[in-house]
Structure 1
Amino acid sequence: MASGGPAAGDGEEKGGVRAALSGLTTRGRSFLAAGIAAAVCAYVLGQSDLLRVGLLLAVLPLICVAVLYRTRYRVAGSRRLAPSRVPAGAEARVHLRMDNVTRLPTGLLMLQDHVPYVLGPRPRFVLDRVEPGGRREVSYRVRSDLRGRYPLGPLQLRLSDPFGMCELTRSFSAFDILTVIPRTEPLPPVRLAGEAAGHGDGRQRSLALAGDDDVIPRGYRHGDDLRRVHWRSTARYGELMVRREEQPQRARCTVLLDTRRIAYQGSGPDSAFEWAVSGAASALVHMLERGFAVRLLTDTGGSVPGEGADGFAGATQDSADSAGLMMDTLAVVDHSDGAGLSRSYDVLRGSTEGLLVAFFGDLDEEQTAVAARMRQRSGAAVAFVLDSSGWTQGPRDDAEVEKRLRQLRETGWTALAVPSGAALPDLWRLAGRQHSESAVAGGTTGFSGGWS
């Protein structure tokens, strides 16, 4: 959950006394005009009683203005999101709370929160009199089919005096961010052979021999077993040094997302690009849940979150934190202006082996060759190729798409075409079956792990 604390200053009135006077309602303006007119007539006619009435009529709205103006820092507001990160199409609830921090009751309060139009209509609430030290809580729901980061706020409060003479609008400075992440689908467990740098069933394994330790010692820490003291290093550095324990290594998985603008057609939540983003999100979550160290790579060569070795996350971070970082990135990822995949190829060329899952848009002959070379250092590679023309009711060239898939398969990729409206879990299961069949046909053997 994300919470928005009280606004800075607990509510700030727009402008000064002039703004307060401009908040006079029709009733307040009428009383003021009638009072002035009565005072003028009383002066002309010499009627002291009429002058008293005129002064009463004119002063009453001014007193109401002064009372409201002096309560400028006496109302506190806060906002809380539950949750602050939701998948596209899901609802989040926004809780608003108003506190009267004065010793006087408030009048009628009209509450309004600023919400982007894609999240729904602007919420408005009418709050009855709030007793001294009291509070009022209201809530509303927001929903978006489009991923992104949406600001909520600032919160506006309209104060009214008991006589309805004046209304003042105050804006709170606090605001919150609602992050709408791509939809994810649970993927079925499949097995993939040939992953040399991995481990079975997504569990950690050590690359060191059983019982061996890292030869690099470290400083002694409270609670370390004295039997692990490395005496040679202790004598050298002049302080207690201990042998490191085995350092397990996680299997690695790179999820490559092609964001080139020229590779996709159409827009909206049902477009090919949104399917690719959702597919990448599903693959990331699935692999992190299976214990893999995962990184998100785009055609621009940027990796997310980039905190582990070579940009991999999950080995030093909790899976939930790693997934959150990458989901926040996918929530705002947009088309790139690049025309090729060479930058992502350069990143993959310099990294170690591991599982590669790619989501490609339209591929021409040149980019297909670049994608094919990515397979050279990858233990296993799976490509989901989207023919965006089939997603926009445009002319399709199935022969050309099949040609690109064949080129990828010849270099060891497990490549599948993604038709409009395809379900990723079905394609995921099909990819695992096709890879197993190609491995048996080619007589290959390898470590059984990868997807699980």
Structure 2
Amino acid sequence: MSAGGPGRAGPAGPGGLGAALGGLTTRGRSFLAAGVAATGCAYVLGQEELLRVGLLLTVLPLLCVVVLHRTRHRVTGSRRLSPARVPASAEARVSLRVENVSRLPTGLLMLQDQVPYVLGPRPRFVLDRMEPGGRREVSYRVRSDLRGRYPLGPLQLRLTDPFGMCELTRGFGAYDTLTVMPRVEPLPPVRLGGEAAGHGDGHRRSLALAGDDDVIPRGYRHGDDLRRVHWRSTARHGELMVRREEQPQRAHCTVLLDTRGDAYFGAGPDSPFEWAVAGAASAAVHLLERDFSVRLLTDTGTPVPGPDGMGHGTADAAGLLLDTLATVDHSEETGLSPAYDVLRGGGGGLLVAFFGELDERQAAVAARMRQRSGTAVAFLLDQDAWAGSPGQHAPASPAKEGLRMLREAGWTALLVTPGAALPDLWRVAGSPGGAGALGRLVGGHAGGGA
């Protein structure tokens, strides 16, 4: 059983004929007991007709056990999950197929799949008698408002004989995994200032990004296209020279996600931590689509895709980042120093950060993360405002003081309140007025601080 296509699996565990006797139903046990009693009475009383009845009552449930036991191992099941990766609150379809590969028909079948409770109720299906070589297909839908990786399975099949004497369960040991990713919101195409930071010396890099050739020539090599001959350099050097093609360089960006457990409160899809995770996912995907080279970094100092290089603007890079964010959880870190050490070690370019609660010490560490020549944008969740939501309780947080320290250090820092829309905040961060334009938003969809 796999997400990409159907597969078959053997029994989950051994089950001999002796174990199959444990599947006798109340009717089957009653027939067996009545048959044994009738046989004993016939032997004592010498009644040949009663002996025939007793043998019939005894043999019938035993025969059903033998037939059903053999049939159980000739019924196969498969599962198809489509798609295997969905955003939060989106649905995925699970298709189940049961096939009878034996020469005997089956009785009534009950199909049951094991799913985590967050995906919905456990699906159960009742299938009618299946002819030899027949197959049945059923499907159900699963959805979750909480991101994560959820196992589906094992699939269980309960078989009964036509007389209702025995019920046996067939288990399939294979699992599928549904990955529920954080929601990704489309962001407006604004300029945050990180494009130039990743290009070095500006104009020449821009030409390379546009696909033009570097004017620095090199010597001709066998196989070079003659259309690339640079005649002016050829005349100057006295030998054949060709234009050297420079590999495009891309702007760098680091998306920093604060996952400290003591920086957030509450749980569930509407909690501030989930807002921060969804914001990091939206920012990363948006910047990848704008041809940035994106690296995801958490407060633990562990970068994704890793220390060997930043991600590329491909579906694989977006998938890697979203898979990581699908399972990210609170860390045990108490400070941002590990992330600061990674940023100080290099990378440069645009920095987009999503912070939880920042005390004075951690706000100072965060303020130093911004490099002098780089652009840094921070979304600071106002824990006081989130605590004021119904059903939420948290101690007071110095969000506005942290916001002031970040802005004094050169950050474009915005305060996030409950109900804030990331596209609106993103547009403000890229506006000429920066955070000062926050007051122009209508309806309280974003929060700002002094």
| Cα deviation code 1:375-416 (max 9, x no counterpart) | 115621100001223212257868x43322121112211000
> For the residues of structure 1 that align with 2:272 and 2:285, how far apart are their CA atoms?
20
CA contact under 8 A between 2:253 and 2:352: conserved in structure 1? yes
User: What's the CA shift for 1:196?
Assistant: 3.0
| Cα deviation code 1:411-433 (max 9, x no counterpart) | 21100010112111111111111
> For the residues of structure 2 that align with 1:216 and 1:418, how far apart are their CA atoms?
57
Counterpart residue number, 2:236: none
Counterpart residue number, 2:263: 263
Counterpart residue number, 1:411: 409
Question: SS in structure 1 opposite 2:142?
Answer: strand
Distance 1:196 1:348, change over 3 A: same
> For the residues of structure 2 that align with 1:175 and 1:418, how far apart are their CA atoms?
40
Counterpart residue number, 1:448: none
Q: Does 1:210 align with 2:205?
A: no
> For the residues of structure 2 that align with 1:126 and 1:73, how far apart are their CA atoms?
19
Q: Matches of residues 36-115 of structure 1 in structure 2 within 5 Å?
A: 36-115=36-115
User: What's the CA shift for 1:162?
Assistant: 1.4
CA contact under 8 A between 1:14 and 1:169: conserved in structure 2? no
Q: Matches of residues 229-308 of structure 1 in structure 2 within 5 Å?
A: 245-306=245-306
Distance 1:195 1:155, change over 3 A: same
CA contact under 8 A between 1:14 and 1:170: conserved in structure 2? no
- What are the ranges of 5 or more consecutive residues in structure 1 without an aligned counterpart? 230-241, 439-452
Q: Does 1:423 align with 2:425?
A: no
Select between 108-117 and 128-137 the one with higher mean Cα deviation.
128-137
Q: Matches of residues 17-416 of structure 1 in structure 2 within 5 Å?
A: 17-193=17-193, 195-198=195-198, 206=208, 210-212=213-215, 225=225, 245-306=245-306, 309=309, 312-314=310-312, 319-376=314-371, 379-393=374-388, 394=393, 400-416=398-414
What is the letter of the counterpart of residue 206 of structure 1?
A: A
Distance 1:395 1:328, change over 3 A: closer
Q: Does 1:2 align with 2:3?
A: yes
CA contact under 8 A between 2:428 and 2:434: conserved in structure 1? no
| Cα deviation code 1:53-109 (max 9, x no counterpart) | 100110011011011112243111111111111111111111111111122222111
Counterpart residue number, 1:235: none
Question: SS in structure 2 opposite 1:28?
Answer: helix
Distance 1:251 1:308, change over 3 A: farther
> For the residues of structure 2 that align with 1:215 and 1:265, how far apart are their CA atoms?
60
Counterpart residue number, 2:234: none
> For the residues of structure 1 that align with 2:108 and 2:206, how far apart are their CA atoms?
61
CA contact under 8 A between 1:23 and 1:166: conserved in structure 2? yes
> For the residues of structure 2 that align with 1:190 and 1:228, how far apart are their CA atoms?
37
Distance 1:204 1:331, change over 3 A: farther
CA contact under 8 A between 1:151 and 1:177: conserved in structure 2? yes
Select between 96-105 and 114-123 the one with higher mean Cα deviation.
96-105
| Cα deviation code 1:99-143 (max 9, x no counterpart) | 111222221111000011111111000011222222111011111
Select between 342-351 and 298-307 the one with higher mean Cα deviation.
298-307
User: What's the CA shift for 1:6?
Assistant: 2.8
Distance 1:437 1:372, change over 3 A: closer
Question: SS in structure 2 opposite 1:420?
Answer: coil
Higher relative contact order, structure no. (Cα contacts within 8 Å, ≥ 6 residues apart): 1
Distance 1:215 1:334, change over 3 A: farther
Q: Percent identity?
A: 71
User: What's the CA shift for 1:252?
Assistant: 1.2
What is the letter of the counterpart of residue 409 of structure 1?
A: R
> For the residues of structure 1 that align with 2:296 and 2:67, how far apart are their CA atoms?
57
Distance 1:205 1:288, change over 3 A: farther
CA contact under 8 A between 1:108 and 1:161: conserved in structure 2? yes
Aligned residues: 415
CA contact under 8 A between 2:108 and 2:127: conserved in structure 1? yes
CA contact under 8 A between 1:196 and 1:353: conserved in structure 2? no
TM-score scaled by structure 2? Answer: 0.85
Distance 1:177 1:210, change over 3 A: same
Question: SS in structure 1 opposite 2:427?
Answer: helix
Counterpart residue number, 2:239: none
CA contact under 8 A between 2:192 and 2:429: conserved in structure 1? no
What is the letter of the counterpart of residue 427 of structure 1?
A: L
Distance 1:135 1:377, change over 3 A: farther
Distance 1:6 1:244, change over 3 A: farther
CA RMSD of aligned residues (A): 2.9
User: What's the CA shift for 1:193?
Assistant: 3.2
> For the residues of structure 2 that align with 1:15 and 1:65, how far apart are their CA atoms?
12
CA contact under 8 A between 2:158 and 2:168: conserved in structure 1? yes
Distance 1:271 1:378, change over 3 A: farther
TM-score scaled by structure 1? Answer: 0.84
What is the letter of the counterpart of residue 131 of structure 1?
A: E
> For the residues of structure 2 that align with 1:42 and 1:174, how far apart are their CA atoms?
51
> For the residues of structure 1 that align with 2:24 and 2:76, how far apart are their CA atoms?
23
- What are the ranges of 5 or more consecutive residues in structure 2 without an aligned counterpart? 230-241, 437-450
> For the residues of structure 1 that align with 2:128 and 2:354, how far apart are their CA atoms?
54
Distance 1:148 1:395, change over 3 A: closer
